[in-house]
Amino acid sequence: MDDKTIRIGKILAPWGVKGQVKVEPLTDNIRRYDNLKSALIKYKDELVCMKIESVLYLKNAYVVVKFEGIDSPKEAENLRNEYINIFRKDAIKLPTGHYFICDIIGLDVYDEKQEYIGTITDVLQTGANDVYVVKRSDKEFLLPAIKDVILNIDIDNNQMIVRLMEGML
């Protein structure tokens, strides 16, 4: 997408007989769908704003969404593997010190001496803490997203300052 939108889910498959879709949430707060009125989705090769009619939760792991105008499993099939996006202005406000994954990816990483280490290319969500995948030249290494390692994140200046532990590079 772009800097004005954020992905919050991936449509996995049609669900039920009324055109609902099963969604893998790409958010820490699965209940964020409760207040969602509409979303941006690529439908028939066009990005469209679709109104949400209803939401239900499956085992607190998946979301079932019914979009207005999608009324059959055949129509819902056209949404398979598409992403649910929202405008950034509609995103949940994060507490201080928390960031959207899409804002972390692409940050330049520097050590405490301001020496360039690499660029974050991915964020792995392990359960205990996130892990940042950092790439430099043709090498990749992992940084745990813990306070002992991540000293400062500056989204506006596109950089992260880290303290490297023994054996990280």
- 52: Cα separation from own chain's centroid: 20
Backbone CA torsion sign across 52, 5, 156, 121: positive
In the CATH scheme, what is the code of domain 5-90? 2.40.30.60
Element (H, E) at 152: strand 150-154
Supply the pTM of this predicted model: 0.74
Q: What is the pLDDT along the chain (169 residues), one digit of tens a residue?
A: 456 888 899 999 999 999 999 999 988 788 889 888 999 998 777 889 999 999 999 987 899 999 999 999 999 999 999 999 998 888 888 888 888 888 899 999 999 999 999 999 998 887 788 899 999 988 898 999 999 999 999 998 999 999 987 766 6
- Class of 101-162 per CATH? mainly beta
Question: What are the two backbone dihedrals, phi and then psi, of residue 73, each rounded to the nearest 5 degrees?
Answer: -60, -35
Sequence ranges of the chain with CATH classification 2.30.30.240: 101-162
Helix (H, G, I), strand (E, B) or coil at 16: coil
Sequence ranges of the chain with CATH classification 2.40.30.60: 5-90
